[in-house]
Amino acid sequence: MASVKRRAGKRRVGAVVFDCDGVLLVSNRLKAAVFREALAEKGFHPQDIARFSRYQTSNFGISRYRLFEDFLAWPDLVVRPQADRDALVAAYARLLRGRYTRCATTPGMREVLDGLAARGLPLFVVSGSDGNELREVFAERGLAGRFRAIHGSPASKAENLRLVAAELGRELPLEDVWFIGDAEADLVAAEAVGARFAYADHFSTAKPRMRQLATERGFPVIRDLRGLPALLDA
């Protein structure tokens, strides 16, 4: 779906949607390491693992299902073990699970969420992480109750933002909804539904690209979530 042009100027905030990794949790480097570990466990060559890691970190926000499918479609892998997408997804989930529950939250995250909730704003998560896994992790961390809904893969972020629209009872474009992300996939999803986008820079693995896009397209940049309340009030 083509992006929807939005009118300039201040507008009320109807809801806030958050990406997870790099926005709510300090988990980007963790996940990059676990992707490498999963491929090594299944016997892939270090050269292919290093190449995939570069691809994965520059494409954060795309689901593990899609990333592993892309990797297995490469025709020039040095070694091609007997491991399909589902085997890689299962290995990745097993290696990630305990560490995902324990990784740090981003600075001020809980306080910012509590402040936004006190204003009566509906809060959502839309992530490239596996949806069931994410809901379990957020429940274990005591975070699930802060969100009206938590959506993840295998659905795409744009598909999940459309679910958010349905849950809000809104038609597209979502001109009063902010999507806070740290990757180009987040920007693309926001544009697909006409949501407003803000880039959280500090933990992003794609800083040069996202900073360039911010300059070209004019979307706001915050260092981390502590800058969000002022942005929403601007």
**127 and 79 assigned to the same domain:** no
On whether both 32 and 108 belong to a single domain, the answer is no
- Residue 111 shares a structural domain with residue 179: yes
Judge whether 2 and 107 are in contact, CB under 8 Å.
no
How do strand 123-130 and strand 15-18 relate by DSSP bridges?
parallel
A 10 A CB-CB count for 15 gives 21
Structure tokens at 176: 């009063």
For 82, the domain range is 28-102
Could you tell me the sign of the dihedral formed by the alpha carbons of 43, 46, 51, 57, in that order? positive
Q: CATH number, domain at 145?
A: 3.40.50.1000
> Each residue of 41-51: pLDDT tens digit?
999 999 999 99
pLDDT of residue 172: 94
Please check whether residue 57 lies inside any domain of the structure. yes
Q: How many domains are there within the chain?
A: 2
From 102, 123, 156, give the residue that closes a domain. Answer: 102
Burial class (CB in 10 A: 0-12, 13-18, 19+), 119: exposed
* Chain segment 76-131, per-residue pLDDT in tens: 999 999 999 999 999 999 999 999 999 999 999 999 999 999 999 999 999 999 99
**pTM exceeds 0.85 for this model:** yes
Cα–Cα distance list, 31 to 64, 103, 143, 186, 226 (Å): 10, 11, 20, 17, 23
Q: What is the mean pLDDT of residues 139-148?
A: 96
**8 found inside a domain:** no
Instruction: Compute the distance between CA of residue 3 and CA of residue 23 in angstroms, rounded to an integer.
Output: 23
